Structure 1
Amino acid sequence: MMQSTLFESPLGDSAANILPKDGGARYYPKVLTEHDCKAMMGQLQNSLKWEAEQLMMFGKLVTTRRKVAWVADPLCNYTYSGVKKIPQAWTSELVLIKERLEEISQTEFNSCLLNFYHDGDDGMGWHSDDEEELDPASPIASLSLGAQRKFAFRHKKDKGTISLFLESGSVLIMHPPTQKYWQHALLKTKKVSDIRMNLTFRKINTHAK
């Protein structure tokens, strides 16, 4: 079981915006203790159904090494890269995290996309979380567990980049209109041999066509 000190660190508006323009991204390090991070990772590995990621690339369905789990309220289906995700039910540990991140971001989330990276050879290329099902007025809150990894932003127009290392137990909140003007990526590296989980809490518009 996780300790009662979960999310005890002061958060709120104390984190500075790391983006210079066209959006907002606030980084909160050490939100979870190392003990709680390890406990959470073990619980998530055992309580969820993890599947290899399937992406439609150049007209072909490609299976990646990275694994994913889509957890959400009923009817919150999610389609990206040409593949439709059907949600799993919320677990108690995910509900605990969701409620706290809702307090921080002052919004309600109805879904969570979880990514499992085996090591530094697993990554995520440049993209924006701007699929039509996602509410463009809602922030996206991301919790990192496990290996520290380099995360980068790239502006869509001037191609300027900003990067930071996401520590285990940290939270990154991307506020609108970040997805409109910026792409982001989890960069691959040969220097990391440990696993990492990333939990991104989102708001799905269930009326999207």
Structure 2
Amino acid sequence: MLSDNNPISLQMKDAEVIYYPSFFNISEANQYYNTLLKNVDWQQDEITLFGKTHLQPRLTALFADNNKTYSYSGITMHPHPFNKTLLEIKLKIETESAHLFTTCLCNLYRNGQDSNGWHADNEKELGPDPIIASVSFGAERIFHFKHKENPELKQKLVLKHGSLLLMKKGTQTHWLHQLPKTKKDIGKRINLTFRTIIK
């Protein structure tokens, strides 16, 4: 069952962003976290930034209802078929958002030193102005936004266990986001980012 908590519409210029702090209840969130942690075939790819190649500071896996690859930062990922757990989560998000997703990039942040730098999910495979649905299970992490044209415009929030962040119209076009490192002693976090690949 979906939580009855009220969604929060973030006040962000040029973008529509909605945050559901408890989209999944604690029991659901715990079950999904444990199942995904154990059953996903997590991988660690090499990434090249500014001419230097190093291991990506998180583990990933790609799932889809098709065989379309997804490329970012010099990495090309090949999808696994959706498993039962991800299909269940996907259906709940699609029902709430009224948007169909083809693909899920799964991320495992093992501790506070795993991170994701400033970027926008604006790869050509996603088409113009894509919608991204981001689900969090596990340790809470702080998530940052900053406006591309007006970097003094910033937003941050705590992504809670069982939460859903819907990044809708304008978000990937006008804003960057990141999950910074933290020195806090925190546990693992699983992040599911649902998207639609059109090419």
- Regarding TM over 0.5, the answer is yes
- TM-score normalised to structure 1 length: 0.89
Give distance in 2, aligned partners of 1:182 and 1:192: 29
SS of the residue 2:81 aligns to? coil
1:198 aligns with 2:191: yes
Q: 1:45 aligns with which of 15, 30, 37?
A: 37
Q: Name the residue aligned to 1:170.
A: 163
Give distance in 2, aligned partners of 1:40 and 1:158: 38
Which consecutive segments of 4 or more residues in structure 1 shift more than 3 A? none
1:132 aligns with 2:124: yes
Task: Indicate the larger mover: 41-50 or 114-123.
Answer: 41-50
Structure 1 position 47, deviation (Å): 2.1
Query: What do the CA deviations read for 1:145-179 (whole angstroms, capped 9, x no partner)?
Result: 00011001000111021100010000000002110
Give distance in 1, aligned partners of 2:186 and 2:47: 24
- TM-score normalised to structure 2 length: 0.93
Letter in 1 for 2:163: S
Give distance in 2, aligned partners of 1:62 and 1:167: 29
Q: Do the aligned partners of 1:67 and 1:116 also contact (CA within 8 Å) in 2?
A: yes
Q: 1:74 aligns with which of 58, 66, 69?
A: 66
Q: Name the residue aligned to 1:62.
A: 54
Structure 2: state its 5+ residue gaps. none
Structure 1 position 103, deviation (Å): 1.1
Q: In percent, how many aligned pairs have the same letter?
A: 37
Q: Do the aligned partners of 2:45 and 2:75 also contact (CA within 8 Å) in 1?
A: no
Give distance in 2, aligned partners of 1:120 and 1:81: 22
Structure 1: state its 5+ residue gaps. none
Q: Do the aligned partners of 2:69 and 2:76 also contact (CA within 8 Å) in 1?
A: yes
Task: Indicate the larger mover: 33-42 or 103-112.
Answer: 33-42
SS of the residue 1:38 aligns to? helix
Give distance in 2, aligned partners of 1:124 and 1:92: 27
Q: Name the residue aligned to 2:11.
A: 19
1:123 aligns with 2:123: no
SS of the residue 2:133 aligns to? strand
